[in-house]
Structure 1
Amino acid sequence: MNRSNGSARKRPPPTPKESWPNKQQATTPTTPVIDDEFLDEDVFLDETLLPEDEESLILRDIEQRQDFASRLAKWARPPLSSGYVSQCQSIMFQQLDIDYVIGDSNRELLPLSSGSAAIIRIFGVTREGHSVCCKVHGFEPYFYISCPQGMGPDDISHFHQILEGRMREANRNSKVPQFVRHIEMVQKRSIMYYQQQKSQPFLKIVVALPTMVASCRGILDRGIQLDGLGMKSFMTYESNVLFALRFMIDCNIVGGNWIEVPVGKYRKTAKTLSYCQLEFDCLYSDIISRHPEGEFSKMAPFRILSFDIECAGRKGHFPEPTHDPVIQVANLVTLQGEKQPFIRNVMTLKSCAPIVGVDVMSFETERDVLLAWRDFIREVDPDVMIGYNICKFDLPYLIE
């Protein structure tokens, strides 16, 4: 122990030896840690900002959509007047097409009906140019059979039960609550052969749906076992008349005439099935068919669309929808009675040179062209579509 000036000093502790990595250990570089306050905001600038060309494309796409929407608004039909909106005036329109669909019975118009029923649809245009879809309820399909001798009014209910049972067996998959709605005896006269009597009894058979007329006719042709009459087959009358045509005959409706639905006799449809401006429900007994005379001989302002498409065909191959895109859709819309069209436009894939007197709209993809034409059809709402071979080529090509 060393002593100096009478005070003892301790030896300082040994410093730790530096550890050197083994030759077999891999050395990894260390990344310096930088505080957030020293980070430059410009480091993230390149990640958040879009390239200039992509941003300009987005802005141009937005501008094109806004411009296209403004054009569609100019081509739309005139807005409905307050009388139509409040349902305080009669609806008078010239009908163009009549068909039917199968739907649920309207309990509001027909409280006693239930199940599926045939709904007549009448499409047309008013004097003001409003598109109309009139859904008619309550008209049922029917046909006639000759009444067998010895059958009286008291036997009809039993005949009804037998025919209902046979119809239920033949239509087991149908969920209609009643196949044969009712049967009544009427006095009619057949136009077949020479007959001295003016009229004779017939049975009018009313069924639930138009498709059941053929099924019921087949059962009656093959024959039914009747008490007191044995096996009896029946000749049917007017069982091949189309349902829509039957409706027109009974309601005195001819092609293209004017139809009136009085105020208070129609109800606005709760769930619309079309893009028509006026879509409403009514009973067939409330429809008034106007004869084409005087003021009802005039034409409504129908919108007539003439269109044509062009495809990028391959050399030596006829265009196919799966391989050859639609590169152009040209449209021309004219009002009935006008000499000049009020819409002239063409929708093209990619750019196109200007065309004098034509509104040229260019799109980047075929999908954009087709969607634009779809929106154009919905907004313009044409009543008649014409064109060269559009039923055999243009329309099927666009659909596929």
Structure 2
Amino acid sequence: MLISKYFPSLTIRQSEAEALLRLAEPIKDSLFPIVRIQAWPHPKKGEGGPIVRSTDHIEAAYGSRPVGIDLAQPLPPSDKIYKTQDRADWAALGRSEVSALHNPVNGYQAWCSFIASDERRIPVVQWTDDAAILRSQVQQLASLNRGLIFRFRRSQGWNLTQAAGLTNFFLGQTHILMIYDFEQIGNRDDLTSIGIATQSAILSSNMQISGGSRTHVFIASSFPSEFTSIGEEYACLAIRERQLYEMLKTSPPLVTSGIDLNYGDHAAIFASERLPAFRGVPRVDYPTPGEWIYHRRREGFQDAARRVRADAKWDDGNLCWGAQRIREAANGHMKGLGAPGKWTTIRMNIHMHVQAQFGNASLSTDEPWVD
């Protein structure tokens, strides 16, 4: 039975891996990440192929703890011009390895074997429209006795069509992690309206699976993809996924159905298959339990960090790695802090640190549930 307080959804890239690595060990103990495997983009002699490099980074960041393992979509062939033939070959190998794991032959046998090869891997079932292949995959993964993860994604119609292939397929006492992933929440979306639609999808998803003991998790992201239109130099943004979570957690139909929702999110990343843009004016983000603040300064990251440090929202009791990096930058110690990617890592580290401590705690919201 999972006792985690917080369920961040990650795709293993350099920023996510380091943000997870830099969390304190007790914080890591209180979260359960669900990571999407993809090909690691940077080759290193003697360190294995693109998929092995990716899993090695998970192990280095999270240790021997069990971790949810999902699979990123395969990338199409690229017309990118690589500096060397070795890098071009590496990229092609990565696409090939990911595509191989997506092969549905024999009930996704390649995926099932990949999961079976490491006992720490808790599998996310890969959806398919072929009911026989889906059932074969689920049976193979369930036989590992590690539990199963079903991820229902809003952009895929909550996968209700595919899940219908499991009708009358009884999972006995297998522990099931049911993830309801709304993905991206727009800054103008009406939370009550999308909450009602999401509530209906959760109830339908839950009914599609037979048997099993269950942990239910709602996941979404409202982190924006651009900032110029929000605030040229400063903004304070509500973490809308937490607001929506709190509305859903107390919704009478879910409570009546015995669905006790846990909290997860996309770890302060725009929820999409692509990397979020971080170009232009230097920006330093500071996550709090219910808000993100940011300061953008043309003068550079040091000036932005100084303004974050002086902001009324700053918590001087937060001593996590990311907060310490902001303190260092504000004091003029900028070694290793001049690249935008490092500030993505810092934001994610602070966000996961804060959310892991709050877990399922209720934060105030100005948008009441209306059903």
Q: Normalising by structure 2, report the TM-score.
A: 0.25
Query: Could you say which structure has the higher helix fraction?
Result: 2
Q: Whose Rg is larger?
A: 1
Q: Which is strand-richer, 1 or 2?
A: 1
